[in-house]
Amino acid sequence: MTDVRVAGVGLTRFGSHADRAGRDLFATAAERAFEDAGVPREDVEELNYGNFMGALAEHQGHQAPLMAEAAGVRCPATRYESACASAGVAVREAVRTVAAGDADVVLAGGMERMTNLPTAEVTEGLAMAADDLFEVRSGVTFPGAYALMAAAYFEAYGGSRRDLSHVASKNHENALPNEYAQYRREVSVEEAMDAPPVAEPLHLYDACPITDGASALVIVSAEYAADHDVDAPVAVTGTGQGTDRMALGDREYLARTPAADDAAEAAYAAAGVGPDDVDVAEVHDCFTIAEVLALESLGLFEVGEGVGAAREGVTTADGDLPVNLSGGLKAKGHPVGATGGSQIAELTRLLRGDHPNSEHVADAEVGVAHNAGGTVASAVVHVLEVAE
Amino acid sequence: MSDGGAGEGGGTGGDGGGGDETAPSPTPITDADYDEWLDALAAGEGYALVCPDGHGSLPPRRRCPECGSDALSREPLDEIGRVETFSVVHVPSPRFADDAPYVTAVVDLGPVRATGVVRGVDPEGDAVEVGLSVAAGVEERETDGEPLVTFRPVDGE
């Protein structure tokens, strides 16, 4: 496999961009990625773009050529859709393309606009990531599906709402210095506990917000970086993807995420590392319980033991294994089709040492990113390493 | 699209053969096999499609989703199911605007699990718990009268 590098990363601020079209958001992220990379636009050979509900939010299909225009590149452009893992699969295909030697420079990322829709329509839109016949028509909402998983987890392994409130509080604290984060304010454990219920046992602060935003990455071969004097110290050394049955009720496990197990196993194998080597992680905490399930699928905690990780201080900024130093989806925000790219961008910044939270992982060499779609019917895992 | 909430879903349909364009809620797809299954469940004759290896699934299916077998036979669902997990939903989608709060549950019905709404209980009470014995059926959504898979507690002695 060709050595694959992240040459540059670009993000918009996550939050509400009521007066900016999606194409403008992605253009901004791409602008910043090119500036960060020092790679000329004309060298881009492919655009891999993630988006989930653009047809609903902006009445806009066929977004890939539109985003190529917006980014100022002319090359084969493809939209990837895997619900909340849309950008994750877009980045994964960029990594595979460069690794295979089919291209030296690929622009990858994603965009989502959500805040322009009424909350009820966003709820309906997100539910499109579930099985319409057997889940949505039976009253399953997106928070409701994760609530079913949380309740099943508590039943099988123990844990409590308070444990999950610690996850929320941790991620909000991590977002404080992050200039791209939607919610840069503290949420105490008690505040999370006292918030109104959304789908019990999940309450308001167990859920990520509704977010607009975009992410972009310039993925290059190490050979290209060397030849063009591009500073790209972070390598993508492993990528993996997994799939599970679409409907939660059809799965063998209601409180585990085997698709992410499979993705992690493949990514670790490609990188030649294991869970014990991981120094820092960005995981898909669309709901607090999702962070717990991610930690277990990544092998960072035994099954049934991840729920106490934040409360015990293991995954906090000053813990042994900081998780979601960006603030996570929970506090940084979750523009669905952009999130997978945003995680890689944040992990790259953390490993390069130019993230506002890099001080917490000053010696980190191995990072892992976990991006999930739906109730983890899709999962993508990437391993990033400091290469030089 | 309407942002009026309660029911006005924005008319995604249009290919349904006419007559119900005023239907208050979107039904993005229709499927005869699914509708037949729903009718059977309503009549107390719910079934699963089961392959020779014993994997159960619900229609429409041409292949077993676990092993790919096309030898699917209809087997009856258990008369009494068991709640495996549940949630009290307070923030609904538009299709369930008038139903909330409600209890959604995943129930083991023998050859297959099904997801639906638990009726006949106070959603805000403690009546539902994992392990609760229920019977599956079909009732109407309060919001728009569309059919809904439901579970009602039974004496599980």
- For B15-83, give the DSSP string: -S-SS-TT-SS------HHHHHHHHHHHTT--EEEE-TT--EE-SS-SS-TTT-----EEEEPPSSEEE
Pair (B44, B66) in one structural domain: yes
What is the C-alpha to C-alpha distance for residues B36 and B60, in angstroms, rounded to an integer?
10
Min Cα–Cα distance to chain B from A282, Å:
27
Chain A touched by B63 (CB under 8 Å): no
Domain annotation covers residue B115: yes
Pair (B86, B107) in one structural domain: yes
Chain A touched by B13 (CB under 8 Å): no
Tokens of B24: 């208050």
Pair (B136, B67) in one structural domain: no
| A355 among known catalytic residues | no
Tell me which chain A residues have a C-beta less than 8 angstroms from the C-beta of B3. Answer: 117-118, 120-121
How confident is residue A121, by pLDDT bands cut at 50, 70 and 90?
confident
What is the C-alpha to C-alpha distance for residues A64 and B129, in angstroms, rounded to an integer?
47
Instruction: CATH number of the domain at B92, please.
Output: 2.40.50
What pLDDT sits at residue A1?
Answer: 58
Most confident of A124-128, A188-192, B29-33: A188-192
Domain annotation covers residue B22: no
How confident is residue B156, by pLDDT bands cut at 50, 70 and 90?
low
- Please answer whether residues B147 and B38 qualify as being in contact, where contact means their C-beta atoms are separated by less than 8 angstroms: yes
Element (H, E) at A170: helix A161-175
Chain A touched by B32 (CB under 8 Å): no
Pair (B52, B125) in one structural domain: no
Tell me which chain A residues have a C-beta less than 8 angstroms from the C-beta of B8. Answer: none
Q: Percentage of residues in chain A with pLDDT exceeding 70?
A: 100
What is the C-alpha to C-alpha distance for residues A71 and A67, in angstroms, rounded to an integer?
6
**How would you classify the pairing of strands B113-118 and B147-153?**
parallel
Element (H, E) at A242: strand A234-243
Pair (B68, B83) in one structural domain: no
Tell me which chain A residues have a C-beta less than 8 angstroms from the C-beta of B104. Answer: 138-140, 144, 148, 199
Mean pLDDT across chain A: 97
Q: Is the pLDDT of residue B24 over 50?
A: no
What pLDDT sits at residue B4?
Answer: 32
Domain annotation covers residue B7: no
Range of the domain at B65: 29-76
Pair (B43, B85) in one structural domain: no
Of A138, A197, A198, the CB nearest to B115: A138
Chain A touched by B91 (CB under 8 Å): yes
Pair (B63, B110) in one structural domain: no
Q: Is the pLDDT of residue B63 over 70?
A: yes
Which entry of A84, A203, A284, A286 is annotated as an active-site residue? A84
What pLDDT sits at residue B16?
Answer: 35
Of A136, A139, A202, the CB nearest to B102: A139
Query: What is the radius of gyration, based on Cα positions, of chain B?
Result: 17
What pLDDT sits at residue B157?
Answer: 44
Domain annotation covers residue B17: no
Chain B touched by A204 (CB under 8 Å): no
Min Cα–Cα distance to chain A from B116, Å:
5
Test mutation, B49, B61, B91, chain A, max A CBs within 10 A: B91
Q: Is the pLDDT of residue A31 over 90?
A: yes
Q: Is the pLDDT of residue B7 over 60?
A: no
What pLDDT sits at residue B30?
Answer: 80
Tokens of B50: 């089961």
| A334 among known catalytic residues | yes
Domain annotation covers residue B1: no
Q: Is the pLDDT of residue B17 over 50?
A: no
What is the C-alpha to C-alpha distance for residues A339 and A109, in angstroms, rounded to an integer?
8
Give the residue among A82, A78, A80, A50 at the shortest CA–CA distance from A65: A78
Domain annotation covers residue B4: no
- Please report the residues numbered 263 through 322 in chain A whose beta carbons come closer than 8 angstroms to any beta carbon of chain B: none
- Please report the residues numbered 144 through 163 in chain A whose beta carbons come closer than 8 angstroms to any beta carbon of chain B: 144, 147-152, 155
Strand partners, B87: B104
- Please answer whether residues A321 and A368 qualify as being in contact, where contact means their C-beta atoms are separated by less than 8 angstroms: no
Pair (B35, B107) in one structural domain: no
Which entry of A172, A284, A334, A370 is annotated as an active-site residue? A334
Pair (B56, B114) in one structural domain: no
Q: Is the pLDDT of residue A151 over 50?
A: yes
How confident is residue A245, by pLDDT bands cut at 50, 70 and 90?
very high
Q: Is the pLDDT of residue B112 over 60?
A: yes
Higher pLDDT, B126 or A290: A290
- Please answer whether residues A218 and A246 qualify as being in contact, where contact means their C-beta atoms are separated by less than 8 angstroms: no
pLDDT tens-digit series, residues A76-90: 999 999 999 999 999
Domain count, chain B: 2
Name, in order, each residue with C-beta under 8 angstroms of A276's C-beta and a sequence gap of 6 or more.
none
What pLDDT sits at residue A120?
Answer: 84
What pLDDT sits at residue B6?
Answer: 33
What pLDDT sits at residue B26?
Answer: 53
Min Cα–Cα distance to chain B from A303, Å:
18
Test mutation, A250, A253, A293, chain B, max B CBs within 10 A: A250
B115 with A135: Cβ contact below 8 A: yes
Pair (B82, B156) in one structural domain: yes
Pair (B110, B152) in one structural domain: yes
Test mutation, A60, A124, A202, chain B, max B CBs within 10 A: A124
Name, in order, each residue with C-beta under 8 angstroms of A153's C-beta and a sequence gap of 6 or more.
A159, A255, A289, A292, A293, A307
pLDDT tens-digit series, residues A262-305: 999 999 999 999 999 999 999 999 999 999 999 999 999 999 99
Domain annotation covers residue B68: yes
Tell me which chain A residues have a C-beta less than 8 angstroms from the C-beta of B130. Answer: 151-152, 155
Pair (B130, B101) in one structural domain: yes
Give the pTM.
Answer: 0.94
What pLDDT sits at residue B11?
Answer: 31
CATH fold group of domain A4-117+209-386: Peroxisomal Thiolase; Chain A, domain 1 (3.40.47)
The sheet with strand B56-57 has its strands ordered as: B56-57, B47-50, B73-76
A139 with B96: Cβ contact below 8 A: yes
Of B1, B92, B112, the CB nearest to A141: B92
What is the C-alpha to C-alpha distance for residues A301 and A323, in angstroms, rounded to an integer?
12
First-last CA distance in chain A: 18
Domain annotation covers residue B5: no
